[in-house]
Chains A and B, each alone.
Chain A
């Protein structure tokens, strides 16, 4: 009987080793170890043996059964992994086919740049405030120290609102532009964000440090001027804010937007509401301020800065005492407080930063272009 067991074990192990599918192994499991198989039958026959043979035979038959059992289990594991592998390989897909489309959105370039500018000035300690786009002549010009004959007041440079039948009349300064039949024009689309300088000082005590992003309007229309555009005004008033502080703030800004290596230059200018007034030039980021494109063969003159090495980015200055006085509040006594103001065009920053030479496409909103600038 022991020989018979050995023989069955060896034959079984050979068959298991030869099986190549899980189905065949399952058949073997039934055939070798199932209810009707020989080995269990032998095991059942053990009790008929003489007592002295029962122990060794039972043990041998059990061992044989376990050996076959574990051989089948091992073999199944191996074969099943191979079968899975075959099946998965058959599920191969073309990975170069496109992914399922997700709609792609984006912010308009002007919003992106506006947010960048806001974030830089938040970091420099400015709050962000906004204001109305329709304004009074008083806030847009008079309170900002514009002489009655300042050319910016001309209807060729300012959009005045047609007189309204439903709004109360506003006081008109002498010499204000008029309608064709002589009625004063007292309301306008703000030509700059600067009226908010006055509105902020009217409602808040110093110190104030704010920027004012927003849409402004001037009747210009060409490649670099659109009748609506966007500005960011800056205002910082306290007891000791200096022109040197203005330079520090705007240098920090220029470096944040145009690169760490940038320098700025203060170029004296005239604005009615600042004194002294300076325009700010930033060293050209395209040619590194050299005026020549050393990165291009032949080192041609830099087209962005026209060979000067400098690009004008904004106007600024120390707030004119007349503006502080016009606020009409003791807290803004120009002998006590002082500060700076600046105003920059978001479009201009965007053009310089992203290499655009025509503004108009920004308002055409061709999605094929906006997507690239988002």
Chain B
């Protein structure tokens, strides 16, 4: 919302003392709840250097057909010579002269110049050059626009006779404050925030029942839907459509509105002051003279003012005349009944609509006009009368209009009248804000906002009383409860200097991370400690990602959750596996020269399946993804580190050959107890190739399953004071005997002294029979109470060798 300061100054006394400049007003609004987007300067940047001039002579330029050499009286001792290119410049005109030194709206500075050899000291301005309007065909002849222009002394500052440049506050009006979509509402805020005196509303005293009654000969209005809460109409005859006066064009321009003609400009001007949209019909183009407000039928058509053909939906509201829909109610008028140059009778509609209905219509059609934006908030029905009053005065003054008949007012009778007052308890205010505000101060603050305040028991002790607060109509959408009044008190009287306090945690536990949250940090730290960089990828991906991973349509990992209105096709679905974003990040870095990508990510993945934990919603779970440019064993080592950090023992890898994105000979399921909690392996070379990656290994772990299984502690076994006994053993087994099986046998045979047995090498080749592998085992024995003897160690060794020989035909190597 753009609020030109001079216009605001007509509604609230900014002259002081103390005088309030734009920055002060903006700051006070900013700290009381009306945020300033920016402070703009509209129009000529040095308004004082633009003066009224009189053209004494306008002679043909000797060397340029299109130019005139003018002598202009600008109030100086000597007339100024100014070269002018406008076709309409003529001796005798009263004009606006930008003297040398003027900085124009676009930043151009007027300098002494020579044009085709002729000196020029200044510029005779067009309306558009001054930022007043669109007109730029020629210079602005003030004598055609201002009464008594001839009497203005040359050299008078133009702003003294035609305010043209202004400071403009561009304000962000929050959705709860439709009253501030009108300048008078902003003026009231300025008054409350600064103490400046609010002037009477421009419609004050003119909003009562129309003495001329509620009928207009030849016109009738019927309202067939509760979505229209009030519909008022007045008829004006003898209208002369033409340009608006310059002052109005200048104000509309400063507020960001284009001037159309005097009738349309009046509706816009009144909307800007009151916040209430109006619509002017050409009364003679309302077929049958009857308007019916009703809900549209699905598929009905209407051409709006912007000449777009619109198809309507049920529940949207239209205004019919005898020929069918003529206006899209509250959003945009129709082109059939639009005011035009030849219009002589105007029917002025000012109506109040159901906000959500208008919002939905405007949103569906992408048609947030100034009117729709305001109507979508749900305006107070009382505002219609304000707008009719102010618009009537302006149409009579500016368009020569004459009121005919009374005021049609459907729904006006049903206005509820003043609602019950809101009871505001003094103690409640203090309890919520943590700072007392006594009733006298509350009364003072609320009255500056136009609230009525009654203290039913002035004798009540401080902190024990209550006020009865009456809310003015324009605030009734927002302020309906005690808490809403508390907010008004807070923003105007409390927040600026509230003493901070710290609350006490009454839960008798210390605040800590949960075990799962701590476990997740341990996982992250374990991987960082092994030299991996954490990345944060997109939750979005494209619908083809599952296909690029080689997943068949039926694969649960391919059932992605789709967005209804994605930003782009690349971000049309939610990632069904964290692998997608990891591969994307790896590719991004490969193409930028990274040699060795070692990354991990934790994040949410989504599938279009009911989530067992909340069956109404899509399945989502927290995943860990690890990616290294290395082989399976590298990533298995990292998984070992992760599960070690989680203190999770007893996990296994089971080979898989049917996961489409994994190498069929180098992939595995991660199994914990009876559950599969992830996948690990080298990325299928075909898939890696689609991302431009060399051999890449990944580990995908379901954190929602893994983290809760991380024990806070695990049992501690005493280690005693004696050294461990260690020995190595190389055994040759057939290739189809897994290392896991070999270790299981060794463990089973070793007896209670065994601390650990691990494989530290697997060798195939010279000296080993085809189809066999030599596994080097490292065995560690321990007794807490003694040093083991060679004999004890030898017994264990022999038991292991014998068991391996018996169970899998292993032979001792070497």
Name A residues whose Cβ lies closer than 8 Å to a Cβ of B: 102-108, 110-111, 115, 118, 121-130, 132-136, 147-151, 154-156, 159-164, 166-168, 170, 174-175, 177, 179, 185, 187, 189, 207, 209, 215, 217, 219, 221, 227-228, 236, 238, 240-245, 247-249, 251-252, 265-270, 275-279, 318, 320-321, 338, 362-368, 370-371, 374
Q: At the interface, yes or no: B512 with Cβ under 8 Å from chain A?
A: yes
Contact check, A122 vs B620: say whether CB atoms are below 8 A apart: no
Contact check, B589 vs A365: say whether CB atoms are below 8 A apart: yes
Contact check, A159 vs B604: say whether CB atoms are below 8 A apart: no
Q: Which residue of A lies closest to B534 (CB)?
A: A108
Q: At the interface, yes or no: B618 with Cβ under 8 Å from chain A?
A: yes
Given A108-B536, A228-B538, does the pair A245, B616 have CB atoms closer than 8 Å? no
Q: How far is the CA of A151 from the CA of B749 in the complex (A)?
A: 71
Contact check, A149 vs B356: say whether CB atoms are below 8 A apart: yes
Q: Please pick, from B483, B498, B620, the residue contacting A133 in the complex, using a CB distance under 8 A.
A: B620
Given A102-B531, A227-B567, A270-B33, does the pair A363, B503 have CB atoms closer than 8 Å? no
B599-625: which have CB < 8 Å to A?
599, 603-604, 606, 608-610, 614-618, 620
Q: How far is the CA of A151 from the CA of B362 in the complex (A)?
A: 11
Q: CB-CB < 8 A to B33: which residues of A?
A: 267-270
Q: CB-CB < 8 A to A338: which residues of B?
A: 431-432
Q: How far is the CA of A371 from the CA of B596 in the complex (A)?
A: 14
Q: Which residue of B lies closest to A242 (CB)?
A: B434
Q: How far is the CA of A243 from the CA of B486 in the complex (A)?
A: 11
Q: Which residue of A lies closest to B430 (CB)?
A: A242
Contact check, B490 vs A243: say whether CB atoms are below 8 A apart: yes
Give chain A nearest CB distance to B529 CB in angstroms: 7
Q: CB-CB < 8 A to A160: which residues of B?
A: 563-565
Interface window among B3-11, B56-64, B172-180, B215-223? B172-180
Q: Please pick, from A128, A154, A175, A363, the residue contacting B513 in the complex, using a CB distance under 8 A.
A: A128
12 A–B contacts from the bound complex (CB under 8 Å):
A105-B531, A125-B503, A154-B363, A159-B564, A243-B494, A244-B433, A244-B435, A270-B174, A276-B490, A277-B487, A278-B495, A362-B536
Contact check, B505 vs A125: say whether CB atoms are below 8 A apart: yes
Q: CB-CB < 8 A to B517: which residues of A?
A: 128, 130
Closest 5 CB pairs of A and B: A103-B531, A244-B434, A242-B434, A268-B491, A270-B174
Q: CB-CB < 8 A to A185: which residues of B?
A: 564
Contact check, A268 vs B356: say whether CB atoms are below 8 A apart: no
Given A149-B359, A167-B616, does the pair A105, B561 have CB atoms closer than 8 Å? no
Give chain B nearest CB distance to A269 CB in angstroms: 6
Q: CB-CB < 8 A to A275: which residues of B?
A: 483-484, 486-487
Give chain A nearest CB distance to B703 CB in angstroms: 11
Give chain A nearest CB distance to B14 CB in angstroms: 22
Interface window among B114-122, B248-256, B520-528? B520-528
Contact check, B535 vs A162: say whether CB atoms are below 8 A apart: no
Q: Which residue of A lies closest to B592 (CB)?
A: A366
Q: At the interface, yes or no: B376 with Cβ under 8 Å from chain A?
A: yes
Contact check, A238 vs B617: say whether CB atoms are below 8 A apart: no
Give chain A nearest CB distance to B179 CB in angstroms: 13
Q: CB-CB < 8 A to B528: which residues of A?
A: 105-107, 374
Q: How far is the CA of A362 from the CA of B535 in the complex (A)?
A: 9
Name B residues whose Cβ lies closer than 8 Å to a Cβ of A: 30-33, 35, 174-177, 355-360, 363, 376-378, 431-435, 481, 483-484, 486-487, 490-491, 494-496, 498-507, 511-514, 517, 521, 524, 527-540, 559, 561-567, 571, 574, 585, 588-589, 592, 594, 596-599, 603-604, 606, 608-610, 614-618, 620
Q: CB-CB < 8 A to A278: which residues of B?
A: 495
Give chain A nearest CB distance to B370 CB in angstroms: 15
Give chain B nearest CB distance to A78 CB in angstroms: 39
Q: CB-CB < 8 A to B35: which residues of A?
A: 267, 269, 279
Q: CB-CB < 8 A to B501: which residues of A?
A: 242, 244-245, 247-248
Q: CB-CB < 8 A to B535: which residues of A?
A: 108, 365, 370
Give chain B nearest CB distance to A20 CB in angstroms: 44
Give chain B nearest CB distance to A242 CB in angstroms: 3
Give chain A nearest CB distance to B32 CB in angstroms: 6
Contact check, B599 vs A179: say whether CB atoms are below 8 A apart: no
Q: Which residue of B lies closest to A240 (CB)?
A: B431
Q: CB-CB < 8 A to A154: which residues of B?
A: 363
Contact check, A132 vs B617: say whether CB atoms are below 8 A apart: yes
Q: CB-CB < 8 A to B512: which residues of A?
A: 122, 127
Q: How far is the CA of A366 from the CA of B592 in the complex (A)?
A: 8
Q: How far is the CA of A195 from the CA of B273 in the complex (A)?
A: 38
Q: CB-CB < 8 A to B618: which residues of A?
A: 134, 161, 164, 167, 187
Contact check, B511 vs A209: say whether CB atoms are below 8 A apart: yes
Secondary structure at the A interface, as helix, strand, loop or mixed, is mixed
Give chain A nearest CB distance to B658 CB in angstroms: 24
Q: How far is the CA of A268 from the CA of B189 in the complex (A)?
A: 13
Give chain B nearest CB distance to A132 CB in angstroms: 6
Contact check, A367 vs B533: say whether CB atoms are below 8 A apart: yes
Q: CB-CB < 8 A to B503: which residues of A?
A: 125, 209, 236, 238, 240-242, 245, 248-249
Q: How far is the CA of A46 from the CA of B89 in the complex (A)?
A: 147
Q: CB-CB < 8 A to B511: which residues of A?
A: 121-127, 209
Contact check, B356 vs A175: say whether CB atoms are below 8 A apart: yes
Give chain A nearest CB distance to B426 CB in angstroms: 15
Q: CB-CB < 8 A to B565: which residues of A?
A: 155-156, 159-160, 219
Q: How far is the CA of A242 from the CA of B617 in the complex (A)?
A: 36
Contact check, B524 vs A107: say whether CB atoms are below 8 A apart: yes
Q: CB-CB < 8 A to B502: which residues of A?
A: 124, 245, 248-249, 252
Q: Please pick, from A105, A207, A321, the residue contacting B483 in the complex, using a CB distance under 8 A.
A: A321
Contact check, A105 vs B532: say whether CB atoms are below 8 A apart: yes
Contact check, B537 vs A365: say whether CB atoms are below 8 A apart: yes
Give chain B nearest CB distance to A101 CB in angstroms: 9
Contact check, B432 vs A242: say whether CB atoms are below 8 A apart: yes
Q: How far is the CA of A125 from the CA of B506 in the complex (A)?
A: 10
Contact check, B174 vs A267: say whether CB atoms are below 8 A apart: no
Q: How far is the CA of A243 from the CA of B428 in the complex (A)?
A: 12
Q: CB-CB < 8 A to B614: which residues of A?
A: 132
Q: CB-CB < 8 A to B559: which residues of A?
A: 166
Q: CB-CB < 8 A to A126: which residues of B?
A: 511
Contact check, B360 vs A365: say whether CB atoms are below 8 A apart: no
Q: Please pick, from B498, B504, B537, the residue contacting A247 in the complex, using a CB distance under 8 A.
A: B498
Give chain B nearest CB distance to A250 CB in angstroms: 8
Q: Please pick, from A122, A155, A159, A276, the residue contacting B491 in the complex, using a CB distance under 8 A.
A: A276
Q: CB-CB < 8 A to B356: which residues of A?
A: 147-149, 174-175
Q: CB-CB < 8 A to A102: which residues of B?
A: 531
Q: How far is the CA of A240 from the CA of B540 in the complex (A)?
A: 42
Q: CB-CB < 8 A to B490: which residues of A?
A: 243, 268, 276
Q: Please pick, from B32, B563, B597, the residue contacting A162 in the complex, using a CB distance under 8 A.
A: B563
Interface centre among A111, A147, A159, A268 (most CB of B within 10 A): A268
Q: CB-CB < 8 A to A367: which residues of B?
A: 533, 589, 594, 597, 599
Contact check, A245 vs B564: say whether CB atoms are below 8 A apart: no
Contact check, B378 vs A364: say whether CB atoms are below 8 A apart: no
Q: CB-CB < 8 A to A105: which residues of B?
A: 527-534, 598
Contact check, B514 vs A128: say whether CB atoms are below 8 A apart: yes
Q: Which residue of B lies closest to A306 (CB)?
A: B38
Q: How far is the CA of A351 from the CA of B376 in the complex (A)?
A: 36
Q: How far is the CA of A252 from the CA of B496 in the complex (A)?
A: 18
Contact check, B616 vs A170: say whether CB atoms are below 8 A apart: yes
Q: How far is the CA of A275 from the CA of B490 in the complex (A)?
A: 10
Q: How far is the CA of A318 from the CA of B486 in the complex (A)?
A: 11
Q: How far is the CA of A249 from the CA of B505 in the complex (A)?
A: 12
Q: CB-CB < 8 A to A374: which residues of B?
A: 528, 533-534
Given A270-B175, A367-B599, does the pair A166, B538 have CB atoms closer than 8 Å? no
Q: Please pick, from A179, A221, A243, A318, the residue contacting B567 in the complex, using a CB distance under 8 A.
A: A221
Q: How far is the CA of A268 from the CA of B35 in the complex (A)?
A: 9
Interface centre among A129, A154, A163 (most CB of B within 10 A): A154
Give chain B nearest CB distance to A279 CB in angstroms: 8
Q: CB-CB < 8 A to A124: which residues of B?
A: 502, 511
Q: Please pick, from B177, B377, B500, B585, the residue contacting A248 in the complex, using a CB distance under 8 A.
A: B500
Q: CB-CB < 8 A to A110: which residues of B?
A: 536
